[in-house]
Each structure stands twice: as C-alpha cells, then as structure tokens.
Amino acid sequence: MNVTYNNNEVPLTYTIDKEGRYVVYYNLDGSSYTGGNVLTSNTTLTELSEGQHKVTIKAKNGFGIYSENTVYFNINTTKTEKPLSLDQTSTNVIAITVIVVVAIVAVILYYRRNKLRDRV
C-alpha cells in the first residue's frame, strides 16, 4: 500500500472466510514462512527498523490451496519539523497589527507631504 508509518509498530490485520479451515502465515522482508510466523488472529509487527519493508500473508487450507497478498510499507520515525500553523486568534492579531502599522505609515507620509507643501 506504500504507507509510511511514523513508529516502528505496524498492525497486521487480515480477513478470511471460513476462519478455522486455513492456516495463516506471514513473511516479513523475505524471511521464511516456517519458523513461528503462524497467525491465529490479527497482530502487530513490532521493533521494525527504519526504511522500506515487505510483508506477505499466505492463507493455506489442508488441500494445499492458498491465497497470498503482499504489502509494501515504510518506517520513518525521524522527527520532522511541523510547518508553522497559526490559530484564528494569532491570525487576527497579526492582521490588526499590520493594519495599524500601515495606517501609522500612511499618516506619517501624509503629514510629511503636507509639511513639504507648506514650505514651498
């Protein structure tokens, strides 16, 4: 699904019809299906390293018929700076300050201009 997770724990959820008739295995990053990767219910993959990962889930019945699905995802736990976000109050204060500064500058320029006219 090409999802990026910001922690090293990823939920591993699946849905299967006729639950009791299949054995469900998972394979993380090319590891073998053997070696204890049998699932009895949804779980969470923990202590994943940074970077790209691939998980494959295989459901197999007693006749050797199976279904398999592979999903790719990324782990990126590095802290990224949040862009500056302003709430409504901060935005209003900034807008009022800008309006006041522009008004003061306009008044100063007006009086300067009139002062120059009075001298001529």
Residues 69, 55: Cα–Cα separation, whole Å: 8
100 and 116 in a common domain: yes
Q: Is the pLDDT of residue 99 over 90?
A: yes
47 and 106 in a common domain: no
87 and 70 in a common domain: no
Cβ–Cβ < 8 Å for 11, 41:
no
40 and 85 in a common domain: no
107 and 67 in a common domain: no
Each residue of 12-27: pLDDT tens digit? 888 877 666 788 888 8
Entry field: residues in the chain: 120
* Structural domain count of the chain: 2
87 and 41 in a common domain: no
Q: What is the residue-averaged pLDDT of the chain?
A: 81
Residue 85, domain extent: 81-120
In this structure, what CATH number is given to the domain that contains residue 12? 2.60.40.10
